[in-house]
Amino acid sequence: MLKAIFFDLDGTLLPLNEEEFTKYYFKLLTTKAAPYGYEPQKLIDTIWKGTALMYQNNGEKTNEEVFWNFFTSVYGKEKLKDKALFDEFYGKEFYGAKACCRENPLAKDILRFCTQNNLKPFLTTNPIFPHVGQKTRLSFLGLKEEDFAFVSYYENSRYSKPNPQYFLDILEKFSLKSDEVILFGNNTYEDGDCAYKAGIKCYLVQGFIIYSPKAKYSYPEITMEEVIPTIKKYL
């Protein structure tokens, strides 16, 4: 029996080109941080390396702890005070990255359909952004955290996709079985293979599908308009 629907964000619910989005996001971030002594390229390199470590997180620490442990190993422990600076960025200037995203007028309808049919919607976007950043990204769609039963972010997560433990951890936390969930994503490896290894059925939403050379399997592809009809097949 279907109980929950997992949704990826970037390239799925939120239509965007990841490369274009990331480039603009870093431009906004380095502009914010430069007056505080952060050289742009070093900051970008540090964020990428910290993100890679979050991808590799084995669950002993939260993703937040993993990132900031690395960040302070580069800049010094005294820079931990600048976490407030970066949180401020994700709550304010980061909103400018909406310029790189497209509208998705169906997002609210899909979530409404889920709740009307007693299905819990989960935002299973990779938890490499802070809580405030995830809320800002949801606002690009006119959505709020309260529209979901759960939103993953780096403070509340100890794993990242493509580690299947990311999904298994959520299943355990909410007493769900893998066959009680469907995932809608856009990445053949980080969504598809990751969900497959956790026993979760995955559909890829067309528009910004990422065909990873690391992916071992293929997954059914649907349009955003087909998300609700696809869910209905399992009710």
Q: What is the pLDDT of residue 219?
A: 98
d(CA 153, CA 229): 29
Q: What is the pLDDT of residue 166?
A: 98
Yes or no: say if 32 and 93 are a contact pair by the CB < 8 Å rule: yes
Q: What is the pLDDT of residue 145?
A: 98
pLDDT per residue as tens, the chain (235 positions)? 999 999 999 999 999 999 999 999 999 999 999 999 999 999 999 999 999 999 999 999 999 999 999 999 999 999 999 999 999 999 999 999 999 999 999 999 999 999 999 999 999 999 999 999 999 999 999 999 999 999 999 999 999 999 999 999 999 999 999 999 999 999 999 999 999 999 999 999 999 999 999 999 999 999 999 999 999 999 9
pLDDT tens-digit series, residues 144-186: 999 999 999 999 999 999 999 999 999 999 999 999 999 999 9
State the pTM of this model: 0.96
d(CA 224, CA 207): 9
| DSSP assignments along 46-109, one per residue | HHHHHHHHHHT--SSS-HHHHHHHHHHHHH-GGGGGGHHHHHHHHHTGGGGGGGGB---TTHHH
Q: What is the pLDDT of residue 10?
A: 97
Structural domains in the chain, CATH included, are 1-235 (3.40.50.1000)
**The dihedral of CA 157, 51, 162, 203: what is its sign?**
positive
First to last CA, the chain: 7
Q: What is the pLDDT of residue 178?
A: 98
Structure token pair of residue 212: 């990873």
Yes or no: say if 125 and 8 are a contact pair by the CB < 8 Å rule: yes
Residue 98: C-alpha distances to residues 30, 147, 174, 217 (Å): 17, 19, 31, 32
d(CA 139, CA 160): 22
d(CA 235, CA 226): 15
d(CA 199, CA 140): 31
